[in-house]
Structure 1
Amino acid sequence: MKAVIFDLDGTLVDSMWVWEEIDKEFLRNLNIDPSVFNNEELGGMSFTETALYFKNKFNLTHSVDEIKITWNKMGATIYTEKVEIKPFVREFLKFLKQHNIKMGIASSNSRELVELILDRFEIIDYFDCIKVSCEVERGKPFPFIYMETAKELGVLPEECLVFEDIPDGVMAGKNAGMTVWAIRDRQSEKLVKELKTIADKWILDYDEARQIIIKEILC
């Protein structure tokens, strides 16, 4: 293992709940009943793909860029005031750094919000590379974001360990030829059985991940 690549939302920070709130508020502001929309339909779509999906599904006159700007403004407030970092993240990043393991971010979120939350928790300097799905051909479960992140880190896919929290993300890493560990997130509790089936491991938190790496990889 030469590199570890992290998804962001639901993986490093407890933020998957944010987008259900934003989506519903966004629709209410347009006088659209939010009950007609199921957030789970979005899977691992990129920020741009999601905006295009909303535009087409609800016949919006807004451009894709206008939708993204609105979401970034709405998200910035919540990410600044309410989103929390997940347990043992800082300790785990420090542990990887001490063992000279490269680190990258591969997120479906916007770059603006990714950098905002990493700056807020003062962990952005741990990462050698930050990629978002809008910068590649297709979002998750397609492998492109993980392949590009590995390329930028200067490692082979088979040398990467990925952390994800939803099935589309896990499959993106697997489709890229990487080892993928699914981490517990309260928003994906009902997906645990599926995650345990498709991921190489399912873990509770980053303290457990650290212990496994010490015993199975660094020994």
Structure 2
Amino acid sequence: MLKDIKAAIFDMDGTLIDSMWIWSKIDQEYLKKRDLPVPKDLKASIEHLTFEETATYFKNKFNIKDSINEIMDEWNHMAYDEYKFNVGLKPGAREYLETLKSMNIKIGLATSNNRVLLEAALKKNDIYHFFDTICTTDEVSRGKNFPDIYLLTADRLGINPKHCIVFEDILPAVQGAKSAGMKVVAIHDAFSENQKDLLIKEADKYIHTYEELLEVV
């Protein structure tokens, strides 16, 4: 998988860390607080959006009176302690990052999350220092179903997209990374289990844990 690869770009939530449950919990608690039901298609509707786009979706979909910034601030407040104290790494993630570093492969993070939460999670799990650059979708105009965030990360790493490999857990992001001309590994997450067959079809490789990759390095 790493032949001709000079940079690895990782998503964070659901890919490096086991955290998707936090956002499902926040969605439910946020809507419950307002006596609003959780639509069955909510996850599919928002999973590829940037943080701000998700807040905009909530404001319009549920007629929330708060501003976009107020919605995001409330979510960040709800999530902070979970990211700082309760999220853990996916099996083999740290070891795989160490392996990439030992091979002089540059490492980037491309996430829809924000700086405060990503730093809390990465530092809590002692992997923050592995990243040569960190990019968020707030820095681009479109979500992860487009190539923008991956191209920005590759540019900051100084690596041609054709020499990059991306690790993602959801279908729209896998498709966005593929459209950037990059090799893509899809990693299993319970919250994208319903996409498994399509992920296997769209990605260059599908794994359940990073331990599978450590066996063949």
Q: TM-score normalised to the size of structure 1?
A: 0.93
How big is each residue's C-alpha offset from its partner over 1:97-118, in whole Å with a ceiling of 9 and x where there is no partner? 1111100000111222111100
2:132 corresponds to which residue? 128
Question: Does 1:42 find its partner at 2:46?
Answer: yes
Q: List, as ranges, runs of 4+ consecutive aligned residues in structure 1 with deviation greater than 4 Å.
A: none
1:17 corresponds to which residue? 21
Secondary structure class of the residue paired with 1:177: coil
Secondary structure class of the residue paired with 1:208: helix
2:57 corresponds to which residue? 53
| Aligned AA (1:175) | S
Residue 70 of structure 2: which of 56, 66, 73 is its match? 66
Secondary structure class of the residue paired with 1:34: coil
| Aligned AA (2:112) | S
1:37 to partner: Cα distance: 6.2
1:109 corresponds to which residue? 113
How big is each residue's C-alpha offset from its partner over 1:119-149, in whole Å with a ceiling of 9 and x where there is no partner? 1111100000111111101011011000000
1:217 corresponds to which residue? none
1:82 to partner: Cα distance: 2.5
Q: TM-score normalised to the size of structure 2?
A: 0.94
In 2: Cα distance, 1:123 partner to 1:56 partner: 37
Give identity over the alignment, percent.
46
Aligned residues: 213
Question: Does 1:205 find its partner at 2:209?
Answer: yes
1:160 to partner: Cα distance: 0.3
**What's the RMSD between the two structures over aligned residues?**
1.3
| Aligned AA (1:165) | D
In 1: Cα distance, 2:143 partner to 2:209 partner: 25
How big is each residue's C-alpha offset from its partner over 1:30-53, in whole Å with a ceiling of 9 and x where there is no partner? 232235762221121110110111
| Unaligned stretches of 5+ residues in structure 1 | 215-219
Q: 1:167 to 1:35 in 2, by over 3 A?
A: closer
| Aligned AA (1:209) | L
In 2: Cα distance, 1:84 partner to 1:97 partner: 21
2:194 corresponds to which residue? 190
2:86 corresponds to which residue? 82
Residue 98 of structure 2: which of 52, 73, 94 is its match? 94
Deviates more, 1:77-86 or 1:133-142: 77-86
The 5-angstrom pairing of residues 153-172 of structure 1 reads 153-172=157-176
Whether the aligned pair in 1 keeps the contact of 2:55 and 2:72 (CA below 8 Å) is: yes
In 2: Cα distance, 1:189 partner to 1:61 partner: 34
Secondary structure class of the residue paired with 1:163: strand
Deviates more, 1:186-195 or 1:33-42: 33-42
| Unaligned stretches of 5+ residues in structure 2 | none
Secondary structure class of the residue paired with 2:215: helix
